[in-house]
Amino acid sequence: MLLNSFIFLLVFIIICSFNLYVATLLLIIMGLLNTGHDQTNQQKDIGTALKNGKEILFQGFNWESHKYNWWENLESKVGEIAKAGFTSVWLPPPTHSFSPQGYTPQNLYSLNTNYGSEHHLKALLAKMKQHKLRSMADIVINHRVGTTQGRGGIYNRFDGIPLSWDEHAVTSDTGGLGNRKTGAIFQGFPNIDHTQDFVRKDIIGWLRWLRHNVGFEDFRFDFAKGFSAKYVKEYIEAAKPLFCVGEYWDSCNYRGSSLDYNQDSHRQRIINWIDGTGQLSAAFDFTTKGILQEAVKGEFWRLRDGQGKPPGVMGWWPSRSVTFVDNHDTGSTQAHWPFPSDHIMEGYAYILTHPGIPTVFYDHLFEWGNSIRNQIAKLIDVRKREGIESRSSVRILEAKQNLYSAIIGDKVCMKIGSASWCPSASHTQWELATSGHNYAVWRKQ
């Protein structure tokens, strides 16, 4: 600022002296300085939402949403979603797909899908922006369905559509002529070879289009363990979304059908992925989900690790932990790994009062009845009013068979489980903020 003021003063003096040539040169230099400053500010915008710690995400769809004119349906609910206190809405994949749910993409530049037309999508995004809700695009770039049979009779060519790649864009271990995968294979489909320069250039162009032309502000990376995290870093740096989260879904550690108490190696793998993105992306906390849905069955001792901290990614890196109870894969009609339905509110009482970045699933807010919706809304209200953030401290008071209790950020006390419990009588400053079946939350008077 001082430098710019000095240059302006010099320009004024020179103009007064009628030396317009020198004045023009100084104005050009000042423009270059300002451009550099603007670029620096824009770079800082990457991951802005990670830094403020106040994010509350809403997953705005389930596995069957493609059947119901979804963009129009969601547009009618935007006001209610915003009023509930959410900051970002995770939408299903926005581009053309071989399957109706959107997770087998084909023409990446077509916004006409089973969820609705391009017109209705853009109307939804515009309304979300009016209500200060960010839109999160579901980015499916691990695999892609070809249009034409290529080498080996496999549909591994993409002729006749934008990004018309040949077999070199497909990894050699999934039927292409590219290099080997840099992550896990998604079976049954051509997996994209992110080691190819032309592939990454095209993906970056597409992500920038989604970000700046279509209007998405946040990204969710599907099947993130399918390709190296360093490419996610490259894509984030190029497209500059405000918030990113990766689906690094790895199996928890089991002994037979019994979940191990110690899940350190599981959460470490997720943390390694976050590190690989240059810490630019958060990740869904599958460790916390796996432990929490066993704990609510009467094993609340699981919710305190050997160091007295929360046992998931939340306990080690809360600002990058995106917590959730269920989603379109684990719950909904797929139910691959569902949370016990009679303990849903204990799950939300935990994630909405604890550090990390909590996510609420569409079904629970809009399809499980008014009682569940109102209870979730009250928990969100407590979180916002009492200033619980992704980095808030946790002091675990109890973690035993039928009881878990903790103080979060010194302003909120909570308990879940069937055991009767309330804050110590010596702590008379606590007042009940909200409660329900097997959970209660207190705040300081």
Q: Which residues are catalytic?
A: 222, 247
User: Are the CB atoms for 240 and 45 separated by under 8 Å?
Assistant: yes
46 burial level (CB within 10 Å; 0-12, 13-18, 19+): buried
Q: What is the DSSP string of 143-156?
A: B---SB--GGG-S-
Other C-beta atoms lying within 10 Å of the C-beta of residue 377: 16
Tell me how far CA of residue 120 lies from CA of 140, 218, 328, 439, in angstroms.
21, 19, 22, 40
Other C-beta atoms lying within 10 Å of the C-beta of residue 5: 9
Tell me how far CA of residue 335 lies from CA of 93, 200, 327, 341, in angstroms.
20, 34, 9, 11
CB-facing half-sphere around the CA of 344: CA atoms within 13 A: 18
Q: What is the DSSP string of 354-366?
A: SSSEEEEEHHHHH
Tell me how far CA of residue 398 lies from CA of 108, 231, 265, 402, 440, in angstroms.
50, 42, 24, 10, 14
Retrieve residue 383's tokens.
């979180």
Spatial separation of the C-alpha atoms in residues 11 and 302, rounded to whole Å? 68
CA angle, 154 then 209 then 202, to 5°: 40
Spatial separation of the C-alpha atoms in residues 359 and 433, rounded to whole Å? 21
Residue with tokens 């840099």: 182
Other C-beta atoms lying within 10 Å of the C-beta of residue 444: 15
Between strands 88-90 and 57-59, the pairing is parallel
Q: Can you list the pairs that 212-215 forms with residues at least 24 positions away whose Cβ atoms lie under 8 Å? A: 214/94, 214/111, 214/121, 214/122, 214/125, 214/137, 215/122, 215/125, 215/126, 215/129, 215/135
Retrieve residue 202's tokens.
């095209």
Rounded to the nearest angstrom, the gap between the alpha carbon of residue 89 and the centroid of all alpha carbons in its chain is 9
Give the residues across from 136 on adjacent strands: 90, 218
